[in-house]
Chain A
Amino acid sequence: MDIVKGYEKEFEQLVEIYEKNTNDKSLRSTGVATIIVSGNKVVGLNSVKGMHIKSKERADGLVMIDVEIEDNTIIPIPVHLCTGFLKKRGEQILKFNYIIGSNVKVKFKSHCILTKVEKLHHYMESDMYIGKNSFVTYEDEHFHDEGGGVFVETITKMKIDKGSFFSSKFYETKTRVGRISVVMDIELLKDAKADLESKIYGREDDIIDIKEVLRLNGENSSGIAKSTVFATDRTKAHVVNEAYGNAPYARGHIECNEIVKGYDVEVSTLPLLKVLNDKAELTHEASVGRINQAQLETLMAKGLTEEDAAEFIVNGLLS
């Protein structure tokens, strides 16, 4: 691991917070590809065979990171992307550019550690191209400050080439959200598959905006976009799921489940399905409301109180 001189302390602090929240000790391991960003500085980098990472910090605060993975590369241990902010206030702007070759197998684990801030705007823009017949998974977990002063904005645009599979999991369930806006826009070429899942737990006056778009442009491409939001207290949540069936035998499914608890919650969901090819097939499923009564009664009939039953159900949904 190359730790930038003078930033050893920040590196240690971020790794400690990460380990405390996840019990995962792999960030310090030499065999693990890692990118660690603190504020507007890349403080730690470690690459593995077949993977190339370049970073650049601009004077205006923008941090640019290019990740390239060569064709036919299999990375057996997940690649860690750790972005953190250790000051009380500020802005963090990140731009990731991924080029993933053909026949690649890789898993990214992204963690956003924003637990010590009072007011922060974290903006992350990512572009990802996945070559042919590759298998890529991306897990993104966020840890925010409990004061609610974090505003996270992420925009991801992707192109998945022939025969590749991409899966994404975005979780913000363990700490307060603050304000979050997640946009994920994916183009799928022939025989490509995508599976997107986001789970967010809103508390107090959190604001949640999710937009997931599947552009099924290739023949026999398929995708699922599923969002689950548990909105409590005065949370405002708005979810938009879109799927475009533009090619023969393209199949897409979008699903949004928003569970509310509290009288001042405001939630909405907007599905959009558009078919431009008569052989494409799109479906959607949505539910907004209280915890399902049949589920509650099933558990209460086993002796759980209504509160315990609700917690049991929500823990399952957000797990």
Chain B
Amino acid sequence: MLELRDIKYSKSGNEIIKGINMKFDEGKVYCIVGNNGVGKSTIGYIIMGLNDYKPGEGKIFLDGKDITELSLTERAKSGISLLWQEPARFDGITVENYLKLNRNIKKEDIEETLKLVNLEPSRYMRRYVDKKLSGGERKKVELASCILLKPKYVIMDEPDSGIDIMSLDMIVEVINHFKKMGSAVIVITHRKEIAMNCGYSYLICAGKVFLEGDSKKIVSYYEKTCDNCGHVNYLEEE
């Protein structure tokens, strides 16, 4: 189990995450929903342990072990992985080498994974992970990379952004693939079609967990209330 206890995070003197508690079990799919700017991606970065996202207060536990002080690399080695909303580009690195990442991975496994994310291996293996890939293609390569890492916990930050609407089914399929692998999937999204496929959701407002529970109920509440709300500081105004 991955657990966040009383996490607080500030940037440039502004408290962005104001004491959140979350739990994620392996083999289950979770959703983090909320309006733009409420801190959803920040929660993902805090879990992953990115350099500028060390919590000011609170602890993160992985299978009962405190990992709050673990580095980004150490957390990745512990089985946590992040699907970036806008993945970086790399000159001179082919899709094949990017997916291999200095590891011994069979070519057939790479090809199989590319097919899973709707990329034809013969067209993409030798292409570079650079600016010439479209946003959607780059995102699909990143999805393939996450799958090949076989993470225990995968954070998917806006997995549908930059991807054509026709590929939404593929994203749902990938989420189910992770679930079958026994991974915990943490999906950060605005999109109802994706959120409805998750089992449990956390609704974030103004850096706090405002509601949590069954995804269908949370998404329904979000659609009725938050979707039209427009502000991000509900709790503060309250």
The SS class assigned to the A binding surface is helix
Tell me whether A301 and B90 are in contact (CB under 8 A).
Answer: no
Chain A residues with Cβ below 8 Å from B93 are 312-313, 316, 319
Interface residues of A in 283-308 (CB under 8 A from B): 292-295, 297-306, 308
Nearest B residue (CB) for A303: B76
Cα A79 to Cα B158 in complex, Å, equals 51
The SS class assigned to the B binding surface is loop
Q: Does B135 contact A (CB under 8 A)?
A: no
Residue of A295, A305, A308, A318 near B88 (CB, 8 A) is A295
Stretch at the interface among B20-28, B77-85, B191-199: B77-85
Query: Smallest Cβ distance from B55 to chain A, in angstroms?
Result: 17
Cα A302 to Cα B145 in complex, Å, equals 9
Tell me whether B82 and A301 are in contact (CB under 8 A).
Answer: yes
Chain B residues with Cβ below 8 Å from A276 are none
Tell me whether B88 and A303 are in contact (CB under 8 A).
Answer: no
Tell me whether A313 and B73 are in contact (CB under 8 A).
Answer: no
Chain B residues with Cβ below 8 Å from A315 are 92
B30-43 interface bits toward A, Cβ cutoff 8 Å, 1 = contact, 0 = none: 00000000000000
Q: Beyond the given A301-B50, A301-B81, could you list 6 further A-B residue pairs with CB under 8 A, ordered by the A residue number?
A: A295-B90, A297-B50, A297-B51, A302-B76, A302-B81, A303-B77
Cα A272 to Cα B76 in complex, Å, equals 44
Interface residues of A in 211-227 (CB under 8 A from B): none
Interface residues of A in 239-297 (CB under 8 A from B): 292-295, 297
Tell me whether A304 and B91 are in contact (CB under 8 A).
Answer: no
Residue of B50, B51, B92, B149 near A303 (CB, 8 A) is B149
Query: Smallest Cβ distance from A85 to chain B, in angstroms?
Result: 30
Chain A residues with Cβ below 8 Å from B89 are 295
Q: Does B56 contact A (CB under 8 A)?
A: no
Cα A297 to Cα B102 in complex, Å, equals 16
Chain A residues with Cβ below 8 Å from B101 are 299, 302, 304, 312
Chain B residues with Cβ below 8 Å from A302 are 76, 81, 101, 145, 149
Query: Smallest Cβ distance from B157 to chain A, in angstroms?
Result: 11
Tell me whether B90 and A313 are in contact (CB under 8 A).
Answer: yes
Q: Does A317 contact B (CB under 8 A)?
A: yes
Nearest A residue (CB) for B128: A316
Chain A residues with Cβ below 8 Å from B92 are 315-319
Query: Smallest Cβ distance from B16 to chain A, in angstroms?
Result: 19
Nearest A residue (CB) for B87: A298
- Say whether, besides A294-B88, A318-B92, A301 and B77 are in contact (CB < 8 Å): no
Looking at A301, A312, A317, A318, the one whose CB has the most chain B CB atoms below 10 A away is: A301
Cα A313 to Cα B88 in complex, Å, equals 11
Q: Does B48 contact A (CB under 8 A)?
A: yes
Interface residues of B in 173-223 (CB under 8 A from A): none
Cα A316 to Cα B92 in complex, Å, equals 4
Cα A249 to Cα B181 in complex, Å, equals 55
Q: Does B72 contact A (CB under 8 A)?
A: yes
Chain A residues with Cβ below 8 Å from B87 are 298
